[in-house]
A and B are shown apart, each in its own frame.
Chain A
Amino acid sequence: MLVEMEVKSVTLQMYEDLDRALKKPLRERHWGMVIDTRKCVGCNACAVACKIENKLPPGVVYNVVIDEEFGTYPNVARRFISRPCLQCQNPPCVPVCPVNATYKRPDGIVVMDYDTCIGCRYCISACPYGARSFDFGNFYTVGQTPEVMPWDVMPSFEYGEEQQRDPRNPWRSPIGNVRKCHFCLHRLEKGMLPACVTTCIGQAYIFGDLNDPESLVAQLAASPRAIRLKEELGAEPSVYYLL
């Protein structure tokens, strides 16, 4: 007997999940990700898309594809772990902040308040996943090449505000701040998936509302293949990996 199955595109389902989640009150959402390591080819598209979306300067890294090599030649293997901020539900970086500049939103995203951060870098020391960067004020072309490229001095729109870095003023945020991945909050609020999710060529990134049992992300997170990094620390990351 032939069983008819509806096969839906992963992207389409993620957008449906996203729409459903956005109709709920903020505190009932729990944004999360599942990253399928078997689908990751290590192309770094997510890391590049993140850099472009958030206009990240040199030295500020939100998303990184960790490239591990095992064994000795000729018996070698590689493993890729794409790591955005894991948006911990018990984030070690938050309680150490002396001025409440970093905090967890009701929907589970750990955000930064650029105008409050004093740049003490305590959160960087406290993050077990290396997910935070300090903005030292580097530029790609300003002071480096004769011609300044327009994209180098463009503002980003993180947190829905124009974030303009000023090469002449190191005292102006976000230079001198700690910065981190925020699941492209400014995109989510407009009903768009995070840049890394949209761009992933193998659809290794699955994004959605972990509180919604119908969502793809919640179903995959419940898989026995799903693990979280450094689970033993009790940080409760919202990002799962499928092994």
Chain B
Amino acid sequence: MGKRALVIGIIGLLLLLAGLPGLVNRLTHGHLYAGYSTPVPWALWVVLYVYFSGISAGAFLISSMVYVFGMRQFERIGRLALFTALVCLLTALLFIGLDLGHSQRFFLLFTRPSFTSPMVWIVWLYTVYFFLLLAEIWFVMRPSFVRGGEGKGFKAGLYRFLTFGVRDLSPRAMERDRKIVRILGTIGVPLAIAFSGSVGTAFAVTVARAYWHTGLLPIMFLVSALASGGALLTTIVAFVLPNGLGEHREEVIGLGRLLVLLLFVYFLMEIAEILVSLYETVPAHFIPIHDQLFGPNWWIFWILGMGMALVGPMLILTFLGRRSALWTGIAGLLATIGFIGIRWNIVLPGFAVEELPGISKSFFEPHWTYGLYIPSAMEWGVTLFSVGVGVLILALGFGLLPLRAEEAPA
């Protein structure tokens, strides 16, 4: 996997370097060159934060099928799922960290939290989830660290270090590891459900934004987390793993079957939301949906959301993916990209309606632009940088970590 990891690493590095000027600008000038504004306070970075944190939860929940529910069918991709969850969590945190006005004060979320804020639940749940993820990955990979640490060279040395001195591979020790992994995974399942739901709750509790203020939103977040996590995992297994379409054909097709179900459930929820809102006479309910469907950004809804994320993959998976790993992989790739559009249309339409009638045309100030939001160059830079960091960590994992289990402890 060395050559592949190198290629992925170079892609990650290029993304990172391309985005570096944006990051420097963000760090030296704060939010001065941002395209978001006071009327559109959450934008591209929040969209991508929601997207990556969702994938993390989804990938983790899929890994739990192996380590908690004992579905051996996906055993060979369990480690990959866990590691993808970790990488996406880190990427998501990078996005939201840079989105804060005072990123250096993040520790206040731990030292003086207000538990009435869903944002605090999210952060605390993430923190527990992050350590749990690290622990679970370590326990799952420990046998490979022990075996791989026997040789010579950098990788063996690294593996020896990563065993942290626990070299016991006796059946008893392996059985103990298996149990610990199952316990960790079992704790992780409600945790991942809670935090992806909480992200939805954070939006849903804002009475001021009728578009978000629905009980369905937290559930939609959970389902889309599972669907986008499944989609990315399908893509990685099919196209990034060496000979993924051949060697991992069964996993790819299995993931595809899961994916089509999740996409369908999300599709139903989306249709329900739209149909109900289109009958509304209240502008705050009606305008965000109407703008999505027929506004200047109609293509985000129709092409990215409906076409690439939902209907397209559902059709491919139903008619072509049942026997073809290639088509399943393509469906996964389409949905992975398309879900960015779905996330965009969850965040941005919330700001489509002016808070008080007439306020948008009453005064004109910088960073106070109602209406169409266009990300600035600085925002794109930071975005490339953050995604680049994620891809680079993924490449490091591919190159250095035993992501493919020769014999997993579970």
Chain A residues engaging chain B, CB cutoff 8 angstroms? 47, 58-61, 64-69, 79, 81, 83, 92, 95-100, 116-122, 124-130, 132-138, 170-171, 173, 175-178, 229, 233-235
Report chain A residues within 8 Å CB of B365: 58-61
Asked whether any CB of chain A lies closer than 8 Å to the CB of B10, the reply is: no
In contact, B207 and A59 (Cβ under 8 angstroms):
no
The answer to whether A136 and B31 have CB atoms under 8 Å apart is yes
Chain B hits for A126, CB < 8 A: 205-208
Once A122-B202, A124-B38, A175-B30 are accepted as A-B contacts, the answer to whether A81 and B356 lie under 8 Å apart by CB is: yes
Known: A126-B208, A127-B355, A176-B101. A134 touches B362 (CB 8 A): no
Q: Are A67 and B102 in contact (CB-based, < 8 A)?
A: no
Interface stretch (choices B118-126, B223-231, B266-274): B118-126
Asked if A99 contacts B108 (CB within 8 A), the reply is yes
A19 to chain B, nearest CB (A): 33
Q: Are B42 and A121 in contact (CB under 8 A)?
A: yes
Interface membership of B34, Cβ < 8 A: yes
- Cβ–Cβ contact A66 & B359, under 8 A: yes
B367 at the interface (CB under 8 A from A): yes
Q: What are 28 A-B pairs with beta-carbon distances under 8 A?
A: A59-B37, A59-B368, A64-B359, A66-B356, A66-B359, A68-B357, A92-B208, A95-B117, A98-B109, A98-B113, A118-B102, A122-B117, A124-B38, A125-B42, A125-B350, A126-B207, A128-B208, A129-B356, A130-B354, A134-B101, A136-B30, A136-B31, A136-B367, A137-B30, A170-B30, A175-B30, A176-B31, A229-B356
Contact: A120 with B100, CB < 8 Å? yes
For A178, what are the chain B residues with a Cβ–Cβ distance below 8 Å?
101
Question: In the bound complex, do residue A233 and residue B363 qualify as a contact, i.e. CB atoms below 8 Å apart?
Answer: no
Please state if A116 and B108 are interface contacts (CB–CB under 8 Å): yes
Query: What are the residues of chain A within 8 A of B123 when measuring CB–CB?
Result: 98
Query: Does B116 contact A96, Cβ atoms closer than 8 Å?
Result: yes
- The reply to whether B367 and A118 form a contact with Cβ atoms under 8 Å apart is no
What's the minimum C-beta distance from B1 to chain A, rounded to whole angstroms? 39
CB of A223 to closest CB in B, whole Å: 22
A59 touching B117 in the complex, CB below 8 Å, given contacts A98-B109, A118-B102 = no
Could you tell me which B residues sit within 8 Å of A by CB distance? Answer: 28-32, 34, 37-39, 41-42, 99-106, 108-109, 112-114, 116-120, 123, 202, 205-209, 350-351, 354-359, 361-363, 365-368
Q: Compute how far the CA of A2 lies from the CA of B368 in the bound complex, rounded to whole angstroms.
A: 56
When the two chains form the complex, which single residue of B102, B358, B363, B367 contacts A177, counting CB atoms closer than 8 Å?
A: B102
- The chain A residue with its CB closest to the CB of B365 is A59
B42 contact set on A, CB distance < 8 A: 121, 125
Are A117 and B101 within 8 A (Cβ)?
A: yes
B362 touches which of A64, A119, A170 (Cβ 8 Å):
A64
Docked-complex contact A99 and B356, CB < 8 angstroms:
no
Q: Indicate which residue in A95, A176, A233 contacts B102 across the interface (CB closer than 8 Å).
A: A176
Other than the known A98-B120, A229-B356, what 20 A-B pairs have Cβ atoms closer than 8 Å? A58-B365, A59-B365, A59-B368, A67-B361, A68-B357, A95-B117, A96-B206, A97-B114, A98-B113, A117-B105, A119-B100, A121-B101, A126-B206, A126-B208, A128-B207, A134-B367, A170-B31, A170-B32, A173-B102, A175-B30
Q: A126 CA to B106 CA in the complex, in Å?
A: 20
Give the 8 A-B CB pairs with smallest separation, nearest first.
A119-B101, A170-B30, A130-B355, A176-B101, A68-B358, A128-B208, A121-B41, A95-B116
Q: Which residues of B contact A79 (CB under 8 A)?
A: 358
B31 and A98 contact, CB distance less than 8 A:
no
A96 to B114, CA, bound (A): 8
Q: Which of A58, A69, A130 has the most CB of B within 10 A?
A: A130
Would you call B105 and A97 a contact (CB within 8 A)? no
Residues of B within 8 A of A130 (CB): 39, 354-356, 359
Beta-carbon contact of B38 and A133 below 8 Å:
yes
For B105, what are the chain A residues with a Cβ–Cβ distance below 8 Å?
A: 99, 116-118
B119 interface neighbour in A83, A120, A229, Cβ under 8 Å: A120
Nearest opposing residue in chain A for B29, CB measure: A170
A122 contact set on B, CB distance < 8 A: 117, 119, 202
> Whole-angstrom distance between the alpha carbons of A127 and B324 in the complex?
50
Task: Name B212's closest neighbour in chain A (CB-CB).
Answer: A125
**A137 and B208 contacting across the interface, CB-CB below 8 Å:** no
Q: Are B358 and A118 in contact (CB under 8 A)?
A: no
Would you call A136 and B366 a contact (CB within 8 A)?
yes
The residue of chain B having its C-beta at the shortest distance from the C-beta of A59 within the complex is: B367
Residue of B whose beta carbon sits closest to that of A178: B101
The distance from the CB of B379 to the nearest CB of chain A, in whole angstroms, is 13
Given contacts A59-B366, A59-B367, A178-B101, contact A129 B109 (CB under 8 A): no
**CA–CA, A132 to B41, complex, Å?**
11
Whether B114 and A98, one on each chain, are in contact in the complex, defined by CB atoms closer than 8 angstroms, is yes
CB distance from B344 to the nearest CB of A (A): 16
- Is B359 within 8 A of A120, CB to CB? no
Contacts of A92 in B (CB 8 A): 206-208
Determine the residue in chain B with the shortest Cβ distance to A122. Answer: B119
> Chain B residues with Cβ under 8 A from A58's Cβ?
365-367
State A127–B207 Cα separation when bound (angstroms): 8
Residue of B nearest to A233 (CB): B207
* Residue of A61, A117, A127, A134 contacting most chain B CB atoms (<10 Å): A134
Q: How far is the CA of A132 from the CA of B108 in the complex (A)?
A: 21
Complex interface: chain A residues within 8 A of B38 (CB)? 59, 61, 124, 132-134
Tell me how far the C-beta of B11 lies from the nearest C-beta in chain A, rounded to whole angstroms. Answer: 31
Q: Contact between B100 and A98 (Cβ–Cβ < 8 Å)?
A: no
Most central of A59, A60, A229 by chain B CB within 10 Å: A59
Q: Least Cβ distance of B103 to chain A in Å?
A: 8
In the complex, the answer to whether B114 meets A117 with C-beta atoms within 8 Å is no
In the complex the two chains form, is A125's CB within 8 Å of B206's CB? yes
Complex Cα–Cα for A98 and B100 (A): 12
Shortest Cβ distance from B325 into chain A, in angstroms?
Answer: 42
